[in-house]
Amino acid sequence: MMIDIQKVALVKALQEVKETTLEKATNFARFVKIAVNQDDSRVDFTTSNMEATTRVTVWESAVNTPVTIHQSGEAVVPYKMLSDMATRSHDTLTLSTEKTKLTIRTGKTHMELAGIDPKDFLAYQYQDDQRKVFRVSAAKLKALIQYTAFATSTSEVRPILTGVYLVAENGQLKASATDGLCLSTASCTLESLESADLIIPATALSKWVKHLPEDDDEEVLIQFGESGLEVTWDDDSHQVMMRALSGKYPNINRLIAQKPLQYQLRLNRLEWLQALERIGILSESSAPRVTLTLREEGCHVESKSEQYGQGSDWVTILAKSALPDFPITFNPRLLMNLLKAMRGEEVLVGMNGPNEPVFFKDGFTDFDMLGLLSPVLSPSQRQQSA
């Protein structure tokens, strides 16, 4: 193997495949595989662990090529060593191999990096003959995951809740996530009417989705298998394969109220979020809570702490159907995460009772996004229920 590669292209490729080297480590998970195919004019950088495989391809082109291929071949070397060398290199690097050793030349610098036999690099992949293939806008898929991944559980007590439930049916791609207290669901349109569903770990989704392009014209190819999900984009320059979680996801439809919401109002999302960020500072870390009281003059946001003191703020109510006569208390972290995941200027809020889940709908109309958040008992409510 021998290639000349631009520093910018190498660093960018290594940065994208980095996350796979950090999770679910195996004896090869901290290595990166470089595969050069001169016939196809491509150089593949691949990292893998027990749950996922990430591959980024740098293509040789006729004009302003980021890589020049002299000889095909493979190398598997420690990821961190290659990454550290790349970030400290000159503008161009020459990579060549001799058996399992990778030689790096850049400027006047000469380095030799010990590797392992490429045959010992066993990347995770799933073999499913029956795959359902869908195309979706990269920007929409990115928003879909960001809308929902925050609501997953971080506890392994119920592993199924650490994943995002992806469902394709009736011309829609729907993502749902819940940790038992917070629920978020969002959907976007698909051209295909085929049906498929998988539960994918939120940590894996969140890591690669940030590399998706923001361009609405860029399409992503999603392949649902029986045991895993494969995502490719940019003419196969990027590929991620993820193992699905096994088990049955809770029926979230029964959590969404069918009865009309008695109280509905509309607030400015950023104004509300900023008020929560200020007042939430005073919330106890062991039992965080903020109390909202809805009045004619606005939404009163209050937090009290025996240790730190108390504070309050006001948020303008832009529109309302009726105002409840009861305060409602939330975990501020969960409420802020929900508001941060939204994209619209306004958020629609609906509720029925002080101890019933509160509904949040993003005012951004390109997506059908719905969030539910269960209130927490205030000290006075706990005394009444005791």
pLDDT for residue 8: 98
Confidence of residue 299 (pLDDT cuts 50, 70, 90): very high
SS3 273: helix
Mean pLDDT of 258-269: 89
pLDDT for residue 383: 55
Per-residue pLDDT tens digits for 46-91: 999 888 999 999 999 999 999 999 999 999 999 999 999 999 999 9
Distance CA 204, CA 310 (A): 39
- Residue matched to tokens 């036999």: 117
Q: Looking at the predicted structure, is the pLDDT value of residue 178 above 90? A: yes
Q: Looking at the predicted structure, is the pLDDT value of residue 366 above 80? A: no
64, 65, 66, 70: CA torsion to nearest 10:
-140
Q: Looking at the predicted structure, is the pLDDT value of residue 23 above 80? A: no
Confidence of residue 129 (pLDDT cuts 50, 70, 90): low
pLDDT for residue 369: 84
* Domain at 257-385: CATH code: 3.70.10.10
Per-residue pLDDT tens digits for 135-155: 999 999 999 999 999 999 999
Please state the domain extents for the chain: 2-120, 132-253, 257-385
SS3 142: helix
Residue range 2-120 forms a domain whose CATH class is alpha beta
Distance CA 304, CA 372 (A): 24
CA angle (298, 304, 306) in 5-degree steps = 170
- Residue matched to tokens 């392009």: 213
pLDDT for residue 380: 59
Distance CA 21, CA 207 (A): 12
Per-residue pLDDT tens digits for 314-337: 999 999 998 999 999 999 999 999
pLDDT for residue 27: 52
Tell me the pairing of strands 52-59 and 73-78: unpaired
Q: Which amino acid is at 27?
A: N
Q: What is 132-253's CATH superfamily? A: DNA Polymerase III, subunit A, domain 2 (3.10.150.10)
Identical fold for domains 132-253 and 257-385, yes or no, is: no
If 0-12 CB within 10 Å is exposed, 13-18 middle and 19+ buried, where does residue 103 land? middle
Buried b (16+ CB within 10 A) or exposed e, 10-43: bbbbbebbbbbbeebeeebbbbbbbbbebeebbb
Contact criterion met (CB below 8 Å) for 56 and 17 = yes
- Residue matched to tokens 């009865």: 259
- pTM to 2 decimals? 0.89
Strand order in the sheet with 42-48: 73-78, 31-37, 42-48, 52-59, 238-243, 228-233, 219-224, 132-137
Q: Looking at the predicted structure, is the pLDDT value of residue 25 above 70? A: no
Instruction: Check residue 116 and report its DSSP letter.
Output: B
Distance CA 118, CA 364 (A): 48
Q: Looking at the predicted structure, is the pLDDT value of residue 274 above 90? A: yes
